[in-house]
Amino acid sequence: MALEGIDAVLKEAGANRTDVVKITAYVTDMKGCLDELDRMNKNFFSGGYPASTVVEVKGLAFPDQVVEIEAVAIT
């Protein structure tokens, strides 16, 4: 899952999912990704979802990559 890496970074910083205040997702196919992003957010965050932005881009760093997610946390 794309959000698992965020868990590791949060833990390293002494934070957790409840400290996330904003996420930004970069996707290569807006229509194809929105439902999956919504499902992932519901499974990752328990209530009180952070602010979010989804941006469609032509491509990402790796050719087979379809989504990249960044998170901002405040502790």
Q: Where are the domains of the chain?
A: 4-73
Query: Alpha-carbon distance 57 to 22, whole Å?
Result: 19
Using CA atoms, how far residue 63 sits from 6, 14, 35, 58, 67, in Å, is 21, 33, 22, 11, 11
Q: How many Cβ atoms sit within 10 Å of the Cβ of residue 20?
A: 22
| Residue whose token pair is 């990752």 | 44
Q: What is the pTM of this model?
A: 0.88
58 has pLDDT over 70: yes
List pLDDT tens digits, range 20-45.
999 999 999 999 999 999 999 999 99
What value does the mean pLDDT take over residues 42-71? 93
List pLDDT tens digits, range 11-21.
999 999 999 99
Q: Domain 4-73 falls in which CATH fold? A: 60s Ribosomal Protein L30; Chain: A; (3.30.1330)
**pLDDT band (50, 70, 90) for residue 48:** confident
